[in-house]
């Protein structure tokens, strides 16, 4: 317990599994009466070694995995951690194969892998063979879906040309974003992403570094926020929001508490750390790609 907790998802899961093999949290599996297994009670780390051994028949592995999944569903987090830890060799192998072509941080990839595995843990058919393999396959599919989302073109389609001046009540793009934040259509992080990258020509990498997230995550946040913003503008949810100086100050204070540059008013933009200062003039649509 004196070691610092791992910062990567798979390493953290492995540490949690290791703690289950130590007193007072020692987790055991009763193998007595189960064909093909040592006829004694095994700690889960010994059970793991038995299951990954080449000499253990696949039907025996599936029988144990049926019990592991049943306990994970019925008996709570300790058995969920046990299932992940026992499957760790396969998860690490899958993570290595998925590393080629992954566009972002490996921790994001491993999080998707674990999320897919754990989601499938609750729904996998226990009457089918190769239970552990199908759980890992679900994690692999989750990573591939995340990679496909990150590689989607970052475009927002609107009905009018970007060069047309905004019409009442949208006025300046900064106020559009401020109203959207006030209406909870987007949050200050998303407003910063849209404002800095769409209106100020700041690179997505620079803003992602400022917020402290990866570029693929920043791109996904911005894309989803722009879609929500475009829908809110179409539905008239933003134009009716009245802005007051106090509300604008509160929004800026909230952004600063989160370690973010504020979304400033028009003509007085002060960018965050690493972002160039700029002065803008209306008009330009806040949600249109250039």
- Please check the confidence at residue 4 and state whether its pLDDT lies above 90: no
Greater confidence (115 vs 253) lies with 115
- DSSP letters along 183-201, please? TTSS-HHHHHHHIIIIIS-
pLDDT tens per residue, range 121-178: 999 999 999 999 999 999 999 999 988 887 765 545 555 555 555 554 445 677 788 8
- DSSP letters along 219-258, please? HHHHHHHHHHHHHHHHHTTTTTPPP-HHHHHHHHHHHHHT
Tell me whether residue 257 is exposed, middle or buried, using C-beta atoms within 10 angstroms of its C-beta: 0 to 12, 13 to 18, 19 or more. exposed
**Separation between Cα atoms, residue 115 and residue 108, nearest integer Å:** 10
Give the per-residue pLDDT at 160. Answer: 53
**Separation between Cα atoms, residue 8 and residue 215, nearest integer Å:** 18
- Please check the confidence at residue 260 and state whether its pLDDT lies above 80: no
**Separation between Cα atoms, residue 105 and residue 86, nearest integer Å:** 25
273 Cβ contact partners less than 8 Å away, ≥ 6 residues apart:
210, 261
Tell me whether residue 270 is exposed, middle or buried, using C-beta atoms within 10 angstroms of its C-beta: 0 to 12, 13 to 18, 19 or more. exposed
Give the per-residue pLDDT at 20. Answer: 93
State how beta strands 41-43 and 28-30 pair.
antiparallel
Residue 89: left (phi > 0), alpha (psi -120 to 50), or beta? alpha
**Separation between Cα atoms, residue 261 and residue 14, nearest integer Å:** 37
- Please check the confidence at residue 66 and state whether its pLDDT lies above 70: yes
Handedness of CA 97, 100, 101, 103 (dihedral sign): positive
Provide the pLDDT confidence category of residue 101 given band limits of 50, 70 and 90. Answer: confident
How many Cβ atoms from other residues are within 10 Å of residue 61's Cβ? 22
- pLDDT mean across residues, the chain: 78
Greater confidence (182 vs 127) lies with 127
Give the per-residue pLDDT at 288. Answer: 38
pLDDT tens per residue, range 22-54: 988 899 999 999 999 999 999 999 999 999 999
Does the global pTM surpass 0.75?
A: no
Asked if omega into 24 is within 30° of 0 (cis), the reply is yes
Give the per-residue pLDDT at 34. Answer: 94
Give the per-residue pLDDT at 241. Answer: 65
**Separation between Cα atoms, residue 272 and residue 109, nearest integer Å:** 28
Q: Which helix (H) or strand (E) holds 177?
A: helix 173-182
């Amino acid at each position: 317990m004196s070691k610092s907790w791992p910062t990567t998802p798979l390493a953290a899961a492995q540490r949690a599994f290791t703690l289950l093999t130590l007193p007072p949290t020692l987790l055991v599996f009763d193998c007595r009466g189960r064909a093909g297994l040592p006829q004694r009670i095994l700690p889960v780390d010994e059970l793991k070694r038995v299951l990954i051994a080449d000499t253990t028949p696949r039907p025996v592995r599936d029988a144990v995995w049926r019990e592991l999944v049943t306990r994970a569903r019925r008996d709570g987090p300790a058995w969920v951690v046990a299932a992940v830890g026992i499957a760790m060799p396969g998860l690490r192998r899958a993570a290595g194969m998925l590393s080629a072509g992954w566009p972002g941080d490996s921790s994001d990839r491993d999080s998707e892998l674990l999320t897919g595995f754990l989601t499938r843990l609750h729904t996998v058919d226990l009457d089918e063979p190769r239970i552990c393999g199908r759980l890992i396959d679900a994690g692999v599919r989750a990573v591939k879906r995340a990679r496909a989302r990150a590689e989607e073109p970052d475009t927002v389609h609107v009905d009018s040309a970007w060069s047309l001046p905004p019409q009442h009540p949208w006025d300046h793009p900064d106020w559009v974003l401020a109203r959207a934040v006030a209406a909870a259509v987007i949050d200050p992080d998303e407003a910063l992403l849209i404002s800095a990258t769409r209106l100020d020509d700041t690179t997505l990498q620079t803003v992602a570094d400022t917020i402290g997230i990866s570029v693929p995550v920043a791109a996904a946040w911005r894309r989803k926020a722009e879609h929500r913003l475009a829908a809110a503008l179409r539905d008239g949810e933003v134009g009716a929001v009245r802005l007051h100086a106090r509300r604008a100050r509160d929004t800026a204070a909230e952004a600063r508490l989160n370690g973010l540059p504020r979304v400033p008013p028009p003509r007085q933009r002060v960018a965050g750390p690493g972002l160039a200062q700029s002065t803008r003039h209306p008009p330009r649509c806040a949600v249109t790609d250039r």
